[in-house]
Structure 1
Amino acid sequence: MALTEQNNISIAQIVIYIPSLFIAIWLAIRHGFGRNSGWLYLIIFSLARIIGAAMQLATIPDPTNLSLRVGAATLQSVGLSPLIMVQLALLGRAAGSIRKSTATLVNEKRIRLINLLVLVSMILGSIGGSESGHSLAETGKYKVSSLSQAGTGLMIAAFVLLVFSTAFLATQMPYMEAQEKRLVLAVGVSLPFLLVRLAYSAESLYGNNPAFNQVTGDINIQLGMSVIMEMAVVAVVEGVGMTLDKKTKYTAQQSEQSEQSETEYEMGPSK
Structure 2
Amino acid sequence: MGKVTYQDGIAILQLIVFPFILVASLFIWKRTGWRVGAKIWRYPFTLSLIRLAGSIATLISIDNNSENVQIAIFVCQLIGIAPLLLAYVGMLRLIDLEKKIPPRPLLLVTLMAIIGLILGIVGISTADTSHGYTPGTLPKAAMGLFLAVYVLVILLTAWLFYTYSFATLKYQKKLFLGIALSAPFLLVRMVYSALGDYSNNPKFSVASLAENNHTSLTVYLCMSVLEEIISMVIAMIFGVSAILQSDFVKPTREGEEPKPNDV
Give the TM-score taking structure 2 as reference length.
Answer: 0.86
* One of 217, 231, 234 as aligned partner of 2:232: 234
Distance in 2 between the 1:6 and 1:49 partners?
14
Q: Which runs of 5+ in 1 are unaligned?
A: 256-271
Tell whether the 8 Å contact from 1:28 to 1:37 is kept in structure 2 after alignment.
no
- The equivalent residue for 2:261 is none
Q: Percent identity?
A: 26
Shift, 1:145, TM fit: 1.8
1:252 is aligned to 2:255:
yes
- The equivalent residue for 2:182 is 190
* One of 144, 149, 161 as aligned partner of 1:158: 149
What SS class does the counterpart of residue 208 from structure 2 fall into? coil
- The equivalent residue for 1:200 is 192
Greater shift, 216-225 or 32-41, is seen at: 32-41
* One of 110, 118, 125 as aligned partner of 1:123: 118
1:47 is aligned to 2:49:
yes
Q: Relative to structure 1, is the Cα distance of residues 224 and 253 closer, same or farther in structure 2, using a 3 angstrom cutoff?
A: closer
Aligned counterparts, 1:82-121, within 5 A: 82-95=83-96, 97-99=97-99, 104=100, 106-121=101-116
- The equivalent residue for 1:136 is 129
Tell whether the 8 Å contact from 1:186 to 1:237 is kept in structure 2 after alignment.
yes
- The equivalent residue for 1:260 is none
Q: Which runs of 5+ in 2 are unaligned?
A: 210-215, 259-263
What SS class does the counterpart of residue 250 from structure 2 fall into? coil
Matched residues, number: 244
Q: Relative to structure 1, is the Cα distance of residues 249 and 58 closer, same or farther in structure 2, using a 3 angstrom cutoff?
A: closer
- The equivalent residue for 1:179 is 171
Distance in 2 between the 1:37 and 1:77 partners?
21
Tell whether the 8 Å contact from 2:47 to 2:84 is kept in structure 1 after alignment.
yes
Tell whether the 8 Å contact from 2:40 to 2:93 is kept in structure 1 after alignment.
no
Q: Once superposed, which parts of structure 1, at least 4 consecutive aligned residues long, lie more than 6 Å away?
A: none
Distance in 1 between the 2:140 and 2:256 partners?
44
Shift, 1:46, TM fit: 0.2
Q: Relative to structure 1, is the Cα distance of residues 174 and 71 closer, same or farther in structure 2, using a 3 angstrom cutoff?
A: same
Greater shift, 155-164 or 5-14, is seen at: 155-164
Shift, 1:249, TM fit: 5.4
Deviations 1:4-41 (A, max 9, x none): 11010101110111222122222212212436752101
Q: Alignment RMSD, CA only?
A: 2.0
Shift, 1:143, TM fit: 2.1
Which structure has the greater CA radius of gyration?
Answer: 1
Shift, 1:55, TM fit: 0.4
